[in-house]
Structure 1
């Protein structure tokens, strides 16, 4: 058998393209908050006409406090710790630094794990900010380990595909643990940064199941004898499961004509990269959304890039402008599905360039339902709102123009000028402009919004959490409730909005309510 020398040569990480809005200069924090939602990948050129075991916590100064369970607990002083790692201050969200209050670590981690990206875009953005902000860590019981909360936040970021944001958190962290190293390794593999992943792990702690990563890195670095020896020892000691060991053996010993192996049922980033190196790539379309980043490296076809960008935009981790850059990369040569969206976007782009209001109206009417069908209507609105605002459109297009401006939170003065005279419009404009809500009857969501903004008392246990200053837990619970609206649970949506209002997150609550009103996300 011959060694597979030079295997797995993959594309390196490509720079993040930051997009600032036109107008006033951005502060450093404003720029960072925009950059947080931009994924790894090249800006498309214009077209031509997982939890691991953790080490014991390091010594630190603590303040004793009584936990609800009666156990002795501790809370670190306000200094930088692994679990307080963040990219901007809590005040940027409108929440206090001590956002977890009396919450236990287990409760916070469980609340994070319950989050889903299946919610309206404004709620997705709030969740992302909450995962990335710098907060004081929650109460720690005697058995809690430093770094567990950061690991839980990273797990959720990876789950929704926010790999660039997760990388920034890891680079900001004040220390490392075996569990954090494992997550950094997986993220780097998903972003095509194998060499950086292996370099980071040199001399660092490995997680309990990190032997596979160690063998992989030996091979990447050309240390084949060490890789063989480590694989043999791991097999003898039971350090690898059967499918993982077979995949690594195939990677190290491949010969021409070697039968293909079926992909493992739970395909890891490392397993996915190995199969790609063996010439047996697994398409990312059926894999978790984090794998979609691989199709943005410039080595995949245009269709794969579009699919990946749409998935990442839908979960709220990619700036819509990046999606537009990929849509306009070249002219579509086919029809149906994704190609209809490409043609519709390009037709609207051309009409806006020409300033032809009749063509703009026709293109907007054609494009909107195509993006509405795949729940990218809000992203589409953010792509076109600024350019479409000044035009005097006709017919049905005026209603769509108004909807676009509200969803994009762009030119609300112009939206007020062209607002239709309907009950939905009056409620929507009040939400957008911060006015008192009118008494109107608007389908099933109108009464829900009205009830939430009537300042009702929070039920148990939410009212108890508020008294206990567990504001972070309340936000997470509210987001989980609002996500229930996508399954038709209007009572949950009402409670979630009421909770955000009780916490003072009024602007977030108004935009979420507006999107529940205007977008079809209810069942």
Structure 2
């Protein structure tokens, strides 16, 4: 059995990384399997500017640590009288400073988006759209969402300097468990404000790099930590006496709740509490509380916590089962590369059976058969592996690992049908569909969708009917046409992504207009991939 942590299967990220950090590039979604997608010229030619209202930043993340105190605003003394006739210091501020809303990791040369993608959209509308979208059902739509969140784009016209859109993008990445991507985005912007540093500090806690975060906190005189964060960092930096003194000061001043006091006391000197009952575990810990409970020997299970906490279980100190379950959660959200999941799956032989272990064993048996290029063994091991990974919501990760390679085997019966579906869910879907020969009407229809020219949909298949309707025209649907006419292309893409994602669990007809919009703005590859996922999620195995 392979002992490599990240054996390479399928394709690596098809993103030309450029200046993007390597660790982030490896975690980026495969949003660009072909040349960069270009928005339709006809749409871009008609963009109109419109002023946008500005709203105050809101966070959809309710688990951020209380690590930074709110900045104190000193009131201006407008009645002050000058005591000299000398010319005062002159401060020069550029008028065209774009602000953090323009910061991203993916340049337009990679995404194919115009810099003015947001156009005249209202900032509050965009932040609400980003917070609302759940594209878990469709990896293709997930890839598109990641691209929008990480793209370098001009802020919406009329946006102020509150960095509302930037914070919404970071918070969405945190919600999706994309810690490497969010950390890189924060570091590209520079976590120099309380709001940004608070998020960067929590990402550092969850990824095990809290020492660097504590060092940065010590150096930043303009960012004031709360007592909890100060005590934690003093201890992490080895200054236990100062940490204990700070704890006593915070208690005397009444800045700590009884729960915080009890946790910090045990964190600083756990030996004093040997033999006492353990502390009650919080239902909704912050990353700071999470790490301190871990330090006192009361680790909190991550399965019921927000997705970002799952990264903590990817560390070698976690048990193998915890690593597997964390990697599966993160792979479903597109936050980690599927090769990391494969590396964890194949790290050792399962020592038990049932549930997770059966899934791991099935994948390992199939992987061994494929590496041996044993057609009979592949035909035998593929169906159970496909069934179990599909039940776990990991069929696209499975397809990206093995879909292209399976296309080179002549398999019988059910195994052949599964291999074809895996190929359609892989980055090579178009080539695989073109080379496939079948008398099955549904498989023929799938091939036509992969080519972007759907044939007559199978009778009674509502999803196929919706897909065919969506591909029937390159004109923007009526509900989206005003957005495009006003230059609100990014807003239209977000709305279509949300509508399409909801169609996976709701009314199949909702997919039609979303597909049409994606094609109208030049996102043809995304439309085809999402349509294939939509059709294959409809029960056809």
Q: Give the deviation of 1:489 after TM superposition.
A: 2.5
Q: d(CA) in 2 for partners of 1:495 and 1:333?
A: 49
Q: Which residue of 2 aligns with 1:43?
A: none
Q: Which residue of 1 aligns with 2:484?
A: 466
Render the CA deviation track for 1:435-460: whole Å, top value 9, x for unaligned.
x2212235110111122222365344
Q: Which residue of 2 aligns with 1:247?
A: 263
SS at match of 2:113: coil
Q: 512-521 or 418-427: which moved more?
A: 418-427
Whether contact under 8 Å (1:352, 1:360) holds in the other structure is yes
Q: Which residue of 1 aligns with 2:27?
A: 38
SS at match of 1:286: coil
Q: Give the deviation of 1:181 after TM superposition.
A: 0.4
Q: Which residue of 1 aligns with 2:37?
A: none
Q: Which residue of 2 aligns with 1:402?
A: 420
Render the CA deviation track for 1:52-87: whole Å, top value 9, x for unaligned.
87899x98544xxxxxxxxxxxxx46x5x4221111
Q: d(CA) in 2 for partners of 1:86 and 1:377?
A: 30
Give the alignment's TM-score, normalised by structure 1.
Answer: 0.83
Q: Which residue of 2 aligns with 1:147?
A: 163
Q: 18-27 or 485-494: which moved more?
A: 18-27
Q: Which residue of 2 aligns with 1:393?
A: 411
Q: d(CA) in 2 for partners of 1:413 and 1:385?
A: 12
Q: d(CA) in 1 for partners of 2:365 and 2:443?
A: 28
Q: 365-374 or 209-218: which moved more?
A: 209-218
Aligned partner of 1:337 among 325, 347, 355: 355
Whether contact under 8 Å (1:295, 1:308) holds in the other structure is yes
Q: Within 5 Å, which residues of 2 pair with 1:329-478?
A: 329-410=347-428, 412-434=430-452, 436-441=453-458, 443-455=461-473, 457-460=476-479, 462-478=480-496
Render the CA deviation track for 1:318-371: whole Å, top value 9, x for unaligned.
111211111111112211111111121121122122222111111111211111
Q: d(CA) in 2 for partners of 1:122 and 1:95?
A: 17
Q: d(CA) in 1 for partners of 2:12 and 2:524?
A: 25
SS at match of 1:437: coil
CA gap of 1:205–1:290, structure 2 versus 1, over 3 A, is farther
Task: Report how many residues are paired.
Answer: 477
CA gap of 1:20–1:506, structure 2 versus 1, over 3 A, is same
**Structure 1: gaps spanning 5 or more residues:** 1-15, 40-49, 63-75
Q: Which residue of 2 aligns with 1:199?
A: 215
Q: Which residue of 2 aligns with 1:114?
A: 132
Q: d(CA) in 1 for partners of 2:105 and 2:71?
A: 23
Render the CA deviation track for 1:170-195: whole Å, top value 9, x for unaligned.
22225621111000110011011120
Whether contact under 8 Å (2:470, 2:512) holds in the other structure is yes
Q: d(CA) in 2 for partners of 1:29 and 1:479?
A: 27
Q: Which residue of 1 aligns with 2:536?
A: 518
Q: Within 5 Å, which residues of 2 pair with 1:492-511?
A: 492-511=510-529
Give the alignment's TM-score, normalised by structure 2.
Answer: 0.80
Q: Which residue of 2 aligns with 1:181?
A: 197
Q: Give the deviation of 1:102 after TM superposition.
A: 0.6
| Higher RCO (C-alpha 8 Å, min separation 6) | 2
Q: CA RMSD in A?
A: 3.1
SS at match of 2:280: coil
Q: d(CA) in 2 for partners of 1:357 and 1:235?
A: 69
Asked if 1:269 corresponds to 2:314, the answer is no
SS at match of 2:102: coil
Q: Within 5 Å, which residues of 2 pair with 1:47-66?
A: 50=61, 60-62=93-95
Q: Which residue of 1 aligns with 2:107?
A: 89
Q: Give the deviation of 1:226 after TM superposition.
A: 3.4
